[in-house]
Structure 1
Amino acid sequence: MKRALVIRHTPYEGIAGFRQPVEAAGYEIDRVDVTAPEFAATDFLSPDLVVLMGGPMGVYERDAHPWIEPEIAALAERLDRNLPVLGVCLGAQMIAAALGSPVYPGPVKEVGFAPIELNEAGRASPVRHLAGVPVLHWHGDTFDLPEGAELLASTTHYAHQAYRRGRELLALQCHPEMGEDERFAEWIEDVDYLALAGTDPNAMRAAHDANGPRAVAAGRRVVAEWLTGL
């Protein structure tokens, strides 16, 4: 059986809705938390697939999070070998950093369910399944598009919502894995962050209930098609 390694940057941001298509594609899933003692010895090269999930920290907060620098270095080595990598939100930003692009605060806190805007390349990619679907956004950072990467989707405030490089790399700034995971309750406990984005826990809970199942279904189709193409 193939092996997928999920890198968790915080316990409440796991593989969530993407677990189903990854397992259906024949992968056994292992997980490691970046704060666990064993993370320092994690092998990024042997897994058939590495999945990098989100987190509340910024890639540039390296003094506060000493695991960021070695993770970027290990990820860069995997990417240099064109081994399959899927990144979500912070994961997409870590990939950009590993490919040599700066990551920095964006213009606004983009939080809530809203569709992304696909370009021509996006409509010809697995991301096409997200067309017109409100998916979860939860970020305030952005990055320059890495050299050699192909942009797939944008939003009004954030130009780089999805990108890929060849068949092996897919990066999503949004969270189409979220919509049915009970850990969302922990996300909306951050009332101050929600206030900065102009929303609140009740509004987010209602949006989650209304849009979550459709968003996850679309996200699963994206990942299933991407894995098929590897």
Structure 2
Amino acid sequence: MRAHYFQHVPFEGLGSIEPWLLHAGYEISATKFFDAGVLPEIEKIDLLVVMGGPMSVNDEREYPWLAKEKEFIRNIIAAGKPVLGICLGAQLIANAMGGEVFPNSVKEIGWFPIEAVSSSGNSIFQFLHEAVVFHWHGDTFNLPGGAVHLAKSKGCIKQAFHIGTNVIGLQFHLETTPVSAKAIVDNCRNELVGGEFIQSEKEILSAPQERYSSINSLMARILEYLHAGIGT
């Protein structure tokens, strides 16, 4: 099996996703758009993960590869392959499938709870009622046609969604580890300007290991769900 991921900046990599994929027996390849990345052949991919980044999905003039990336996402979803989008990745999926992406009323940066939105159907991934997760986003989106809303927070209503049974978009970061949290703080420290839903650097980096273990376990559940759908 082959998992492929799209990376937009050097400091937002797979985090806890990488060891899970390796343990599950995947070969891992990547398109790194910040380094003249080459798109793979859809037929040779079993699972696509679209990572985060500080740019907007609407910045196609500054980042021309965004248009090709969104076209690839549309095509791989049409091919029935499992796709996971994280933060910018979720926004790219939403936009590629017809949803509008725009600035949220507030930025949400740090450790804040999300709440599950009830959905029907046993084939849809179900979140627990509430979980504290790691956020770093300023944009939000309208759900594309046919998408199912899965989670919300006080700072941002659209936190997670499902398309069909094999596509999940997450506005938040369940893959975050202490190392990756430090990396995004180091590279995006200028955004920590204070606000109702913006924590300080100290608050972010002082999170206990149990918090990372909790979100990484939730990420593992999502990956297991998508993995189970391969070939079905």
TM-score (structure 1 length as normaliser): 0.89
- 1:57 corresponds, among 52, 55, 58, to 55
Distance 2:224 2:55 in 1: 28
**Which secondary structure does the structure 2 equivalent of 1:126 belong to?**
coil
Q: Which moved more, 1:49-58 or 1:159-168?
A: 159-168
1:106 corresponds to 2:97: no
Q: Which moved more, 1:138-147 or 1:18-27?
A: 18-27
- RMSD across aligned C-alpha pairs, in angstroms? 2.1
1:224 corresponds to 2:193: no
Superposed CA deviations along residues 144-196 of structure 1, whole A, max 9, x for unmatched, are 10101111111123221111112211111111111x25132121122220115
Alignment of 1:13-92 (within 5 A): 13-39=12-38, 41-92=39-90
Calculate percent identity across the aligned residue pairs. 31
- Return the offset for 1:19: 2.0
Residue of structure 2 in register with 1:203 after alignment = 203
Distance 1:201 1:195 in 2: 10
- Return the offset for 1:122: 8.2
Distance 1:32 1:220 in 2: 22
TM-score (structure 2 length as normaliser): 0.88
Which amino acid letter does the alignment assign opposite residue 219 of structure 1?
M
Checking the alignment, whether the CA contact within 8 Å between 1:17 and 1:181 is kept in structure 2 is no
Which amino acid letter does the alignment assign opposite residue 10 of structure 1?
V
Distance 1:34 1:181, change over 3 A: farther
Distance 2:15 2:121 in 1: 25
Distance 1:229 1:47, change over 3 A: closer
Distance 1:59 1:216, change over 3 A: same
What stretches of structure 1 of length at least 5 have no aligned partner? none
1:188 corresponds to 2:185: yes
Which amino acid letter does the alignment assign opposite residue 72 of structure 1?
K
Which amino acid letter does the alignment assign opposite residue 199 of structure 1?
Q
Checking the alignment, whether the CA contact within 8 Å between 2:194 and 2:200 is kept in structure 1 is no
Distance 1:196 1:75 in 2: 35
Superposed CA deviations along residues 62-120 of structure 1, whole A, max 9, x for unmatched, are 11111111111121111222221111110000001110111111111111112211022
Distance 1:210 1:194, change over 3 A: farther
Which amino acid letter does the alignment assign opposite residue 58 of structure 2?
Y
Aligned residues: 226
Which amino acid letter does the alignment assign opposite residue 184 of structure 2?
W
Checking the alignment, whether the CA contact within 8 Å between 2:99 and 2:141 is kept in structure 1 is yes
Q: Which moved more, 1:202-211 or 1:130-139?
A: 202-211
